[in-house]
Amino acid sequence: MTPPRSDAAPPPRRHARATTARRIVPRPRLLVATTLLVLLVSVLMVRAYAGAALSPDGLHESSGEQGAVPAEIVEGGPIINTARGGTQSYRLPEKTIALTFDDGPDPWWTPKVLRTLAEHDVDATFFVVGSGAARHPDLVRQVAREGHELGVHTFTHPDLTQMAGWQRRVEYSQTQMAIASATGVKTSLIRFPYSSHAYAIDDENWPLYREAGDLGYLPVLNDTDSKDWARPGVDQIITNSTPEGTQGAIILFHDAGGDRAQTVAALDRFVPMMKERGYRFVTVSQGLTQAMESAAPAGNATARTEQAASDGEIWRGAALVWAIRIADTTVGALGVLFVIAGALTLIRTLLMLLLAGRHARKRRAKGFRWGPEVTAPVSVIVPAYNEKEGIEAAVRSLAGGDYPHIEVVVVDDGSSDETAALAEGLGLPNVRVVRIPNGGKPNALNTGVAFASHDLIVMVDGDTIFEPDSIRRLVQPFADPTVGAVAGNVKVGNRNSLVARWQHIEYVIGFNLDRRLYETLRCMPTVPGAIGAFRRQALQQAGGMSDETLAEDTDVTMAFLRNGWHVVYEENARAWTEAPSRLGQLWKQRYRWSYGTMQAMWKHRKALVESGPSGRFGRVGLPVLALFGVTLPLLAPVIDLLTLYGLLFLGRTETLIAWFAMLVMQIVTAMVAFRLDRESMRPLWTLPLQQFAYRQLMYLVLIQSAVTALTGARLRWHKLQRTGDALVGTAPRDRTPVG
């Protein structure tokens, strides 16, 4: 990367307009993300509406006053005609029954009802809920194909008295579209949810009937209610359904809304029983025609309740059906992903608590030693690019450690500030400064290794401060000849902001606790650039630091594991780093980390099919990292998304319980991690707040990294701005032997 020139001339004025345009027009990534978010929210809103989550329920109690309702309506029949200002009502002729079914179609119960009706050769009228008709158009077609009649029962089954007029019209029209899409016809029959008998119409709901008539609908109530929705038993359903004497009746049943086994059984007995009594079964329109003929025998009246739908209505209905289908599929897929994310979270938590606890107990066991105390000389490599804010403190902490033989090699990677001069100005005898043209961090590290005098190599970021005993503790695992690299414990030094405190929590939980887990599984994927130690032999075998990925530390660690070296974690070797204090800087850092990790995983994918140590890493380490390091963070937004969806549209109590359960699990994990790391628990009060801001930012970073990886885009190195605030902490230390 070419360092910025301080003497660069300002851009010509002719570029001002283009610069302004770039400020106004969103970046393509933001535009794409915003578009996808809007589409997802739209889909969820469609699903919420189709699921009646946006509609008022049927708990509203009416006043019961009937001063405005005409007497001929209150005392009349269940079929009401208010078209053109009329107030006519009709009853079915004697010994005539119209079976009606509400709330369908249902994929389980509607076919059973249809089968029973076919066995007894009777037709019926089905008042369908539009959302159900859109989800099951095949059942709507079956109803029409078998000679039954269709009616509108609104789209979401709301309490219509609690809705505005335009909302009611939408409820009717969308149900019509669903019916038209499935059958090619429209119907004028309508039944309002929660309606019953004509004598129950009052001043509050009478306007609904007038409005329906103006819209061309024919409201249909009932004479007898089977009350099958209460499942009172087959005998009681039959008793409730039977009309008095020889009266004709429109009878209310349901083919959806719950267990309709009693309904089906009651129909199987009720229909033949009424036929034996001389009753005929008709559809509502057939019964209305007979009633009209009885009222005006010379008129030869025919009730026409169906007409062909136009091509536009059919197309609009098809679009509605597809919108709901897409919404249902999306929410269903999100539900599956929610379960997967929850399962992965639980598995990861259990593994972390179990294996990290085992790791801690093993290290703290009395007499634990890596082997003979390591005292071999160490070379510390410090790659530095424009690190003037923190280079002096970092080099002092490294050169002044309590280890007997420390060589510090500062590699100035073409800095444009005083980084090299400041390091040289310290005048420390065991510090060398090497200046090279800017070539990137991997090149700087390889240069440092070439200049290093010793075989134990410690690599440190230029903003990192070591504790006096950190190098001594970091190299002790090399007493085991199978150990090729050691990861130290990275601590956040600048904890004076909320964003930094959140990163502190993340470092303790997500990094250091994870490293205990990965070491136990012998598949630690990353030795952090802030504090890591390597054998020169292992580095040479891995080919040194590669610039093929943006996560050179992860890349080389995976190479070590594939070559059979053991990579371990030394929690007592602590380094204090300056975490980004601004969200923009944090975004750049995590974007590079996430994308670089994905690059490294792809680079080492052949380990999946190899044998030996490489195959073990490929079949253990890569899947674990893919599941818990990539898949789980990518799926984690689903938890928050469905939590928000549940709070708005589903059961709030259940949703809150599930969310708090997840939070408690995270808090328990955090407390264990802080306990193992001997950290104060005080910062954990910010953990609940982290769920509402910081975590979402990490989601976006990982998603953008995944998109970048999938599209094959090239991501440049991001240099973070430092302030020099990485101060050594004062948390209590475990002064156990290091040998």
More confident residue, 352 or 303: 352
Virtual CA dihedral for 700, 705, 706, 707, nearest 10 degrees?
90
pLDDT at 260: 95
pLDDT at 306: 84
Percent of the chain topping pLDDT 70: 84
Q: What would the mean pLDDT of 728-736 be, rounded to a whole number?
A: 45
Q: Which of 136, 148, 157, 254 is catalytic?
A: 254
User: What's the CA gap between 343 and 152, in Å, rounded?
Assistant: 42
- CB distance 473 to 573 below 8 Å: yes
Residue 725 pLDDT > 60: no
Whether residue 413 lies in the annotated active site: no
More confident residue, 111 or 647: 111
Residue 147 pLDDT > 50: yes
Percent of the chain topping pLDDT 90: 43
Which whole-number Å values give the CA distances from 92 to 284, 290, 304, in the listed order? Answer: 9, 7, 16
Please choose, from the candidates 248, 131, 250, the residue with its C-alpha nearest in 3D space to the C-alpha of residue 191.
Answer: 250
- Would you mind telling me the total number of residues written for the chain in this entry? 739
- CB distance 494 to 578 below 8 Å: yes
Please choose, from the candidates 220, 133, 221, 135, the residue with its C-alpha nearest in 3D space to the C-alpha of residue 185.
Answer: 133
More confident residue, 509 or 25: 509
Q: What would the mean pLDDT of 175-196 be, rounded to a whole number?
A: 93
User: What's the CA gap between 90 and 76, in Å, rounded?
Assistant: 7
pLDDT at 16: 36
| CB-based burial label for 707 (10 Å; 0-12, 13-18, 19+) | middle
Residue 505 pLDDT > 70: yes
Q: Name the band, by pLDDT with cuts 50, 70 and 90, for residue 495.
A: confident
Q: Name the band, by pLDDT with cuts 50, 70 and 90, for residue 681.
A: confident
Which whole-number Å values give the CA distances from 722 to 382, 503, 715, 728, in the listed order? Answer: 16, 16, 21, 16
Residue 62 pLDDT > 80: no
User: What's the CA gap between 430 and 620, in Å, rounded?
Assistant: 42
Whether the ω angle into residue 105 lies within 30 degrees of 0, i.e. cis, is: yes
More confident residue, 249 or 42: 249
What single DSSP character describes residue 684?
Answer: G
pLDDT at 159: 87
pLDDT at 698: 67
Residue 508 pLDDT > 80: yes
What pLDDT digit, counting tens, does each position of 258-275 carry? 899 999 999 999 999 999
Q: What angle do CA 142, 148, 152 make, to 5 degrees?
A: 90
Tell me the pTM: 0.72
- Largest Cα–Cα distance in the chain? 121
Please choose, from the candidates 291, 377, 338, 309, the residue with its C-alpha nearest in 3D space to the C-alpha of residue 140.
Answer: 309
Q: What would the mean pLDDT of 126-149 be, rounded to a whole number?
A: 94
The packing angle between helices 311-351 and 652-676, to 10°, is 30
Whether residue 254 lies in the annotated active site: yes
More confident residue, 339 or 304: 339
Q: What would the mean pLDDT of 693-712 be, rounded to a whole number?
A: 65
- Candidate from 239-248, 517-526, 654-663 with smallest mean pLDDT: 654-663
What pLDDT digit, counting tens, does each position of 192-203 carry? 998 888 888 988
- Candidate from 95-99, 153-157, 241-245, 576-580 with smallest mean pLDDT: 576-580
pLDDT at 301: 58
pLDDT at 651: 67
Beta strands in 520-582 (DSSP E): 532-535, 566-577
What pLDDT digit, counting tens, does each position of 528-543 carry? 888 999 999 999 999 9
- CB distance 553 to 383 below 8 Å: no
More confident residue, 136 or 633: 136
User: What's the CA gap between 683 and 739, in Å, rounded?
Assistant: 33
pLDDT at 344: 87
Q: To which residue do tokens 């099951």 refer?
A: 136
pLDDT at 462: 86
pLDDT at 302: 61
More confident residue, 345 or 2: 345
More confident residue, 688 or 418: 418
pLDDT at 453: 93
Residue 583 pLDDT > 80: no
What pLDDT digit, counting tens, does each position of 446-488 carry? 999 999 999 999 999 888 999 999 999 999 999 999 999 999 9
What pLDDT digit, counting tens, does each position of 317-332 carry? 899 889 888 888 888 8
What pLDDT digit, counting tens, does each position of 64-95 carry? 787 888 988 888 999 999 988 888 899 999 99
Contacts of 23 (CB under 8 A, 6+ apart): none
User: What's the CA gap between 292 and 311, in Å, rounded?
Assistant: 32
Q: Which residues pair with 307 in a beta bridge?
A: 186
